[in-house]
Amino acid sequence: MSIKWTGVMPAITTPFNADYSVDHGFIRQHVQWLVENGSTGIVPCGSLGEGATLTSEEKIAVMKTVVDAVGDKVPVIPGIAALSTREAVHLAQAAEDLGCHALMILPPYVYSSDWREMRQHIVSVAQATALPGLLYNNPVAYKTDFSPAQIAELARELPQIQAVKESSTDARRVTGIRELIGNRLALGVGVDDCLVEGVDAGAQFWIAGLVNAFPKESVALYNYAMQGKKEEAFAIYRWFLPLLRLDTVVKFVQLIKLVQQEVGMGHERVRAPRLELTGAERESCLNILRTAMANRPAL
């Protein structure tokens, strides 16, 4: 499958049963619902998918479920992150064997060092398969920041890298990357509350979080932004922003899963060390959601 780096690609949450095993039945239902509502790709096993608390075997099983559920309707682009480069290479090769269509390549968990080491990690994973690669830059979460110049260097060396998910929270990064590489890489927004700004700067796709609960609104917002329909885009954006900002804080997984539960598309269970929200923190999220639901735009 040729990857078209456009549209809204949900970074899906990983649902858990009451015993905290992975709920593969709901994964199948959820990703099919997302595709039916206009999603153009599915990204399992990322940060929002609690990849750090899934074993390699569980990640591979999640990939298989998603591939089986969506077939060739949209590309499946799993997050490839691990404590070691060896494990990341293993996951990449397993993804290829399962029929995934591309790889979202992350720096290693926990260990974050200099450019020489991080560069070698990305090169090793990208060259481990024939699949196209999406470089994930998220310095807030992973403490590794791929600068525009470093991304340009990787683009020159690795034809496998086709796109960048830019999650530095700085929309200027999109223009900075574009300045150095032109159209060599497709650029995507990886922060929920920077979509309109990112598109204005030249981003072509959106790997989103709140789309897990609000796919129609997410797709409409993206389409209006890409079409340059400012008034329509900002009408949705103003309504959506309090929810989208839930994606940019430490407990974004708990918050998004709670929202999913409240709209009837998921459960708030998370794996330790995360804990379900309680008290004022939980009520604050519910108040944001109640306000949003009371003013939900007609699409």
Active-site residue (options: 59, 64, 142, 165):
165
Cα angle, residue 80 at apex, residues 108 and 142 outer, rounded to 5°: 35
Sign of the CA dihedral running 45, 47, 53, 56:
positive
Over its C-alpha atoms, the chain yields an Rg (Å, rounded) of 18
Active-site residue (options: 59, 64, 136, 237):
136
For 253, phi then psi, to 5°, come to: -65, -50
Residue 179 is given by DSSP the state H
Active site residue 216: no
Instruction: Name the region of 196 (left: φ>0; alpha: ψ -120 to 50; beta: rest).
Output: alpha
Say if CB 289 and CB 256 are below 8 A apart: no
Quick check: helix, strand or coil at residue 8?
A: strand
Instruction: Name the region of 247 (left: φ>0; alpha: ψ -120 to 50; beta: rest).
Output: alpha
Return d(Cα 113, Cα 93) in angstroms, integer. Answer: 25
Quick check: helix, strand or coil at residue 189?
A: strand
Could you tell me which residues are beta bridge partners of residue 136?
165
Return d(Cα 222, Cα 205) in angstroms, integer. Answer: 8
In 3D, which of 266, 278, 214 has the Cα closest to residue 241?
214
Quick check: helix, strand or coil at residue 207?
A: strand
- DSSP β-ladder status, 103-105 and 133-137: parallel
Confirm or deny that 207 is annotated as ligand binding: yes
The catalytic site residues sit at 136, 165
Binding site listing for pyruvate: 207
Known binding residues are 207
